Amino acid sequence: MTASTLARPAARPADLKPTVRFRTERRSPLATGVLLLGAVYCLLPVVWVLVAATKNSAELFSTFTFAPSTHLWSNIQELSAYRGGLFWRWMANTALYAGVGGLLSVTVSAMAGYGLAKFQFVGKKATFNIILAGVLVPGVILAIPQYLLLAEVGLTNTYWSVLLPSVISPYGIYLARIYAAASVPDDVIEAARTDGAKEWRIFTQIATPMMIPGLVTVFLFQFVAIWNNFMLPYIMLGDDKLFPITVGLSGLLNQGATQPAMYTAVITGALLSILPLVALFLTLQRYWQVDLAAGAVKA
Amino acid sequence: MRLHTGLKVAAALAATTLLMTACSSGSDSPGTDDTAAGPVDLVFWTWAPGMDEIAAVWNESHPDIQVTVNKQDGGDAAVTKLLTAIKAGSGAPDIMQAEYQKIPTLVSSDALADLSGELSEDTASHFSDGMWEAVTLGSDAVYGVPQDSGPMELYYRADIFEQYGLAVPTTWEEYAQVAEQLHTADPTKYLGTFSAQDAGWFTGLAQQAGASWWGIDGEAWTVDIDADPTQKVAAYWGDLVEKGVIDNKPMYTPEWGAALNDGTQVAWVSAIWGPGVLEGNAPDTAGLWKMAPMPQWESGDEATGNWGGSATSVTTQSEHPAEAAQFIEWMNSSQEGVNLLVEKGSVYPADIPGQAEALAEPPAFFSNQPDFYTIAAQIAQTVQPFQYGPNVNVAYSAYNDEFGKAAEAKSASLFTDAVTAMQTATVEDLKNSGFTVKE
Amino acid sequence: MTTVAPPTDVTRAPRTAARNRRRTGRFAPYVYLAPAMTLFTLFLALPIAYAVYLSLRATKVSGLGLGAGAKTEVWAGFDNYARALSDPDFIASVVRVGLYGLLLVPTMLGLALVFALLLDARRTGAKSFSRVSIFLPYAVPAVIASLLWGFLYLPRVSPFYYVFDLIGWDAPQILSSQLVIFAIANIGLWGGVGFNMIVIYTALKAIPSELYEAARLDGASELQVAWRVKVPIVTPSLILTFLFSMIATLQVFAEPMTLRPLTNTISTTWSPLMKVYRDAFVRDDIYSAAATSVIIALATFVLSFGFLRLVQRRAFSQENS
């Protein structure tokens, strides 16, 4: 059974599946119920943060958790007023790190993935394995050596110090390789070559468009990974105007023992920072397809 | 051949990357190249609120020395970040907020500049001997100017004390009785909590009891955690927690904030900066709290410990230590600076001459206690001597782990064991690093 | 169909291009890989090498260790490794995380599989709402997720305890020493189940429908189709999600780290990476931290390759050259 699966040609995009519906069948309340239960579980903390962001600091600790209040706007104003709107600067920084970093990362990963999937060359297997091994090293410890090395070239405490290390992503290359293998048929490349097309042109004009759906997934993946990476910007940046949102919010939470944590600001900030991501995910919904296994097949 | 080309491309790419970044790095790293005419730019790392406003006042009147505040996370990692920058040889700010207990660690890593040549001669006279000792480590060098201090006091809910007919405890024995009395009258209420997360709090309690955890004996360090005063404090709190009359949950959690706000936590053994924290966590209770001196071990004693507070230091990477020293001296020991520290930063200034004017009014949250700062000033004079060592963080993380276990198990014997474990961990770490330790 | 059909009439290049092709073709893979390898070298390989170097070093202090030049870096050999491996706190953290993984990974993948099958099943309703909702937590950074759950865990601010209170039951203390591992695993589950669901769902979507239409015509129930046809087909995906989840589990850090200030029950060395963090960031001993990291990376390497070897024989029997 498994063998037959593995022999299947390539991962197909979701939309390919025939949409013939057997309308005669009844909905199963059990199946729907279980799925909805999962949805409720996943939404609960999000609803909580939504409600909590409407409370002022006294209500946060006194009223019932899911009883909304009316202070959302004043909380946002308070947060915006903090050190001359620094919060919005953090949001913009995060968009820059995750957005630009994600795009650069996709470009680099797509090239590498395509190169690994479509060419035979000396050291291919070793290259791939070395890149994959990069997954195994925890980022917590890499941050300090990365800092020490970047300090050598005077790059710490700049946008580059967070952007550049974020661009390289073993996972991204792994996924891009899968998508290249699965979505760009060898004979199309061969045909283009026979027609005399330059390699670079084949990549940019033929292969890349075919890989786009997969690359969007890689982008989302990288976007979230950079967004989630706390330690790297934490160590690299001293200037709080360069902070991404996670490091900034953590500072509001850890002001030392002599100051109360700014819970309302952090909660409002958490809510505001999640919103753009939710929007991004909703608009790019149809690209959520992560086929990890196709690569194992083709490897 | 093939490899050769590949390498060339790689090298070209790497070179481009470096070139690209070299062009952009200069503009973004302040505090470096200011030799040309124009104002000196100083970068100041701090986590205390209001420091940017204070710097703005300075910048207004000192166009030649401009201070930029970069707000940092108040956690331990801020120190690591500084030490990493020191190790790397670049990236450190000019001015750094340094908690007193971190100063020996920073000095042993050569992170703090000696300001003894840069400060006015009378600077030392502005501070109590204990404070000055904390920034000099008993040597001729000066590693910073004290900014604020945290003499410890007892905060209590006057209204609830009255409601239950409780007397304000003046000794620890009375504190234990009141704790039991209150908890029996209303089992949901506690007179306080033992927080295994706040090593600085416990250190202050031990300091009050006469402990001094580190010491210098000739050319060797001594570690004196596992000694009578600290054992006494641990046994006392362990007993209260075991009986269940005191809570065992950490401070500074949302839950603790809620308990302060709704009157479940009826008192708080804290420090002079307590009003700000109470105001932030329990805004509903304004005007209901009062402050009293710490309970004493012996009736009639007058002793307290210190919790929190920091100095402002200049790092060894600063190219303008003289200008930086000028700024921190102004901020921490001029009347204008001290007034701003109180007004904008809500700290209890370490500068003694400036206190009278700056602290004329009680904190807004304690407007019901007009003589708040008069009492506080008397208490501040009774802070016991205490010396920190070069690995305070090791002792503190051992405190978190060992007392965490003990508090969770609510076992008095584990409390005293925890003190011994802290001693062992601290001594072992010192020896491992090669410090000379005298036992 | 989302993929764009290849343009069949690629602009014709001059005839001489046919000769050039062979040459460019030979160098092409290196050109494609150059940016990745350059960045990999600069930002992963070099720092890793540097970390390995640091792991063999230590600081030595003389006397009181105060003042300039009191601290020097010296060669330490394998001392840091020996100390890490004989540290009972480290061993305890490894055992704890092993247990954590045993709890989390099967639960997460089991639920992800169930949700994916339900999304793929014909008789389930509310699909797109559920799909979006379950995937949503993936967008929440672990630090923020742990903060949110922290609020939901603390009896006084949690709605769950409020409900228990109303019913009059004694709610379990989720942050107590017996249950805290579940509290942390729950955050991992919450953040991870959606991503894994999508991975499995993608694999399910790629199954040609003829494969199970045939089974249906044979009278197999939806459940039987799921178990006998779909699950075996997505096994390779399951194996890889298992692998990646396992690696993530061994590196669990942000969740316990964020919850730690809320409770006495999470020590500073709760997970191996927390020990790394403590050594590097609290004790300022990056040398021990580097040694521990190298041990963790090697162990992860051995485990994942061992696991792949094990399953390769079964699931990927046809695979690889």
In this structure, what is the dihedral angle of CA atoms B106, B108, B112, B114, given to the nearest 10 degrees? 140
Residue B215 sits at φ, ψ, to 5 deg, of -160, 160
Residue spans in chain B of domains classed CATH 3.40.190.10: 5-149+307-361, 151-305+387-432
**Residues of C whose CB is below 8 A from B80:** 280-282, 284
Q: What whole-number distance in Å separates Cα of residue B331 and Cα of residue B358?
A: 13
How confident is residue C13, by pLDDT bands cut at 50, 70 and 90?
very low
For residue C126, the model assigns a pLDDT of 87
Domain shared by A63 and A134, yes or no: no
Evaluate if residue B25 carries a pLDDT over 50.
Answer: no
- Are residue A278 and residue A190 in the same domain, yes or no? yes
Measured CA to CA, the distance from residue C244 to residue C210 in angstroms comes to 31
- If asked whether residues A204 and A227 sit together in one domain, one would say yes
Q: Which residue out of B3, B13, B21 would a mutagenesis test of the A interface target, given it has the greatest number of A Cβ atoms within 10 Å?
A: B21
B330-339, C17-26, C223-232, C302-311: least confidently modelled range:
C17-26
Q: Does some domain include residue A137?
A: yes
Q: Cβ contacts of residue C34 below 8 Å, gap of 6+?
A: B6, B9, B10, B13
Confidence band, pLDDT 50/70/90 cuts, at residue A93? very high
Q: Does domain B151-305+387-432 have CATH number 1.10.10.10?
A: no
**Do A238 and A151 share a domain, yes or no?**
yes
Give the amino acid at A154: G
pLDDT of residue C103: 96
Those chains having 3 or more beta-carbon pairs within 8 angstroms of chain B are A, C
A37 and A162 together in one domain: no
**Which of B104, B250, B436 lies closest to C63 in CB terms?**
B436
Q: What is the pLDDT of residue B90?
A: 87
**How far is the C-alpha of A214 from the C-alpha of A216, rounded, in Å?**
5
User: Does residue A159 share a domain with residue A281?
Assistant: yes
A15, A47, A69 - which closes a domain: A69
| Shared domain check, A63 and A95 | no
Which residue of chain A is at minimal alpha-carbon distance from B73?
A251
Interval B192-221: pLDDT, tens = 999 999 999 999 999 999 999 999 998 899
Q: Say if residue B436 is exposed, middle or buried (CB neighbours under 10 Å; 0-12, 13-18, 19+).
A: middle
A78: chain B residues, CB-CB within 8 Å: none
- Which domains can be identified in chain C, with CATH numbers? 79-320 (1.10.3720.10)
Q: What pLDDT, on the 0 to 100 scale, is given for residue B171?
A: 97
Contacts of B35 (CB under 8 A, 6+ apart): none
In a domain, A97, yes or no: yes
- C290 class by beta-carbon count within 10 Å (0-12 exposed, 13-18 middle, 19+ buried): buried
pLDDT for A15 equals 42
As a whole number of angstroms, the distance between CA C279 and CA B212 comes to 25
CA-based nearest residue to A248, from A91, A115, A113 = A91
pLDDT at A26: 74
Residue C59: closest C-alpha in chain B: B433
- Closest in B25, B48, B261 to A158, CB measured: B25
All chains having 3 or more CB pairs closer than 8 angstroms to chain C: A, B
**Residues ≥6 apart with Cβ < 8 Å to A162:** A97, A101, A232, A233, A236, A237, A242, A244
pLDDT at C111: 97
Q: What was the pLDDT predicted at B18?
A: 41
Contact C150, C207 (CB under 8 A): no
Q: In terms of domains, do A174 and A42 share one?
A: no
| pLDDT category of residue C208 using cuts at 50, 70 and 90 | confident
pLDDT at A25: 62
Contact residues, B window 163-222, toward A, CB-based 8 Å cutoff:
198, 200-201
> For residue B438, which phi and psi values (nearest 5 degrees)?
-105, 125
Is B50 part of the contact surface with chain A (CB cutoff 8 Å)?
A: no
Searching chain B, which residue's CA lies closest to the CA of residue C27? Answer: B2
pLDDT of residue B19: 38
> Are A49 and A155 members of one domain?
no
- Residue C59's identity, in one-letter code, is T
Kindly tell me if the per-residue pLDDT of B22 is higher than 80. no
Does pLDDT of A278 surpass 90? no
pLDDT at C9 over 60: no
Q: Show which residues on chain A lie within 8 Å of chain B, measured between beta carbons.
A: 57-58, 60-62, 83, 121-122, 144, 147-148, 151-160, 164, 234-235, 238-242, 247, 250-251, 254-263
For an interface test with B, which of C40, C66, C178 has the most B Cβ atoms less than 10 Å from its Cβ?
C66
Quote the pLDDT of residue B8: 42
Cα–Cα distance, A83 to B169 (Å, whole number): 42
Alpha carbons C29 and B6: distance in angstroms, whole number: 9
Report whether pLDDT(C173) > 80.
yes
Q: What are phi and psi of C50, to 5 degrees?
A: -65, -40
> What pLDDT score was predicted for residue B34?
43
User: C59-80: per-residue pLDDT in tens?
Assistant: 888 878 877 777 888 898 999 9
pLDDT, one tens digit per residue, over C111-144 is: 999 999 999 988 888 888 999 899 999 888 888 8
> Are A53 and A137 members of one domain?
no
Please say if the pLDDT value at position B351 is more than 90.
Answer: yes
Q: What is the pLDDT of residues B288-316, one digit of tens each?
A: 999 999 999 999 999 999 999 999 999 99
| Mean predicted confidence (pLDDT) in A151-172 | 91
Examine the domain organization and report whether A154 and A52 are in the same domain. Answer: no
Residue C267 has what pLDDT?
94
How far is CA A32 from each of CA A27, A38, A286, C114, C117, rounded to the nearest angstrom?
Answer: 8, 10, 21, 12, 12
pLDDT band at C25 (very low <50, low <70, confident <90, very high): low
Q: Is C35 left (phi over 0), alpha (psi -120 to 50) or beta?
A: alpha
Contact flag A42-C136 (C-beta cutoff 8 Å): yes
Quick one: which H or E segment has residue B259? Answer: helix B254-261
CB contact under 8 A, B47 and A152: no
> With pLDDT > 70 as the criterion, what percentage of chain C qualifies?
88
Task: Name which of C7, C123, C234 is nearest A25 (Cβ-Cβ).
Answer: C123
Region C27-50 average pLDDT: 91
User: What pLDDT shows up at residue A294?
Assistant: 57
Q: For A216-229, what is each residue's pLDDT tens digit? A: 989 988 998 898 88
Chain-centroid distance of CA C48 in Å reads: 19
Collect all residues with Cβ–Cβ distance below 8 Å to C251 and sequence separation of at least 6.
Answer: A138, A140, C273, C296, C300
pLDDT at B280 over 80: yes
A residues 106-165 near C, CB within 8 Å?
107-109, 111-112, 114-116, 119, 121, 124, 127, 130-131, 133-138, 140-142, 144-146, 148-149, 164-165
Residue C206: pLDDT above 90?
no
CA distance B302 to chain A (A): 24
| Domain count within chain A | 2
Query: A116, C33: Cβ pair inside 8 Å?
Result: yes
Question: pLDDT band at residue C202, thresholds of 50, 70 and 90?
Answer: confident
Residues C72-98 have a mean pLDDT of 93
Parent domain of A48 = 32-69
At residue A6, the pLDDT reads 32
Mutation target among B261, B408, B430 for the C interface, most CBs of C within 10 A: B408
Per-position b or e across B229-258, b if 16+ CB within 10 A of its CB = bbbbbbebbbebbbeebbbbbbbbbbbbbb
Helix, strand, coil content of chain C in percent (nearest 5): 70, 5, 25
A234 to B72: CB separation less than 8 angstroms, yes or no: no
Helix A159-167 × helix A139-152 angle, to 10°: 130
Q: How many residues does chain A have?
A: 299
Please give the residue of chain A at the shortest CA–CA distance from B259. Answer: A61
Report whether pLDDT(B21) > 80. no
* Chain-centroid distance, C-alpha B160: 30
Number of Cβ within a 10 Å radius of residue C75: 9
pLDDT of residue B326: 96
Asked whether residue C17 carries a pLDDT value surpassing 80, the answer given is no
**Segment among A1-5, B331-335, B355-359, C281-285 with least mean pLDDT:** A1-5
Q: Which residue of B has its CA nearest to A84?
A: B52
pLDDT at residue A2 tops 60 = no
Q: Are residues A108 and A163 in the same domain?
A: yes
**Residue predicted with more confidence, A13 or A120:** A120
Nearest CB neighbour to C282, from listed B76, B141, B405? B76
Does the beta-carbon distance from C194 to A42 stay under 8 Å? yes
Contact residues on chain B for C265, CB-CB shorter than 8 A: 404, 408
Identify the residue whose tokens are 């009359």: B245
Element (H, E) at B438: strand B437-438
Q: Which residues of A touch C146 (CB under 8 A)?
A: none
What is the C-alpha to C-alpha distance for residues C76 and B250, in angstroms, rounded to an integer? 39
* Alpha-carbon gap, residue B182 to C145, rounded angstroms: 37
Do the chains contact at C48 and A142, CB–CB below 8 Å? yes
| CATH code where residue A190 lies | 1.10.3720.10
Q: Which of B152, B153, B154 is nearest to B307 (CA)?
A: B152
Per DSSP, helices labelled H in C206-285 are: 210-217, 222-224, 231-250, 254-259, 272-277
Looking at domain B5-149+307-361, does it have CATH number 3.40.190.10? yes
Q: Measure in Å the smallest separation between the Cα of C216 and chain A Cα atoms.
A: 12
Q: Which residue in chain C is spatially nearest to A197 when comparing CA positions?
A: C13
Query: Minimum mean pLDDT among A186-200, B80-94, C202-216, C234-248: which range?
Result: C202-216
CA B141 – CA C47 distance, rounded (Å): 37
Is B76 part of the contact surface with chain A (CB cutoff 8 Å)? no
Out of A58, A158, A256, closest to residue B28 by CB: A158
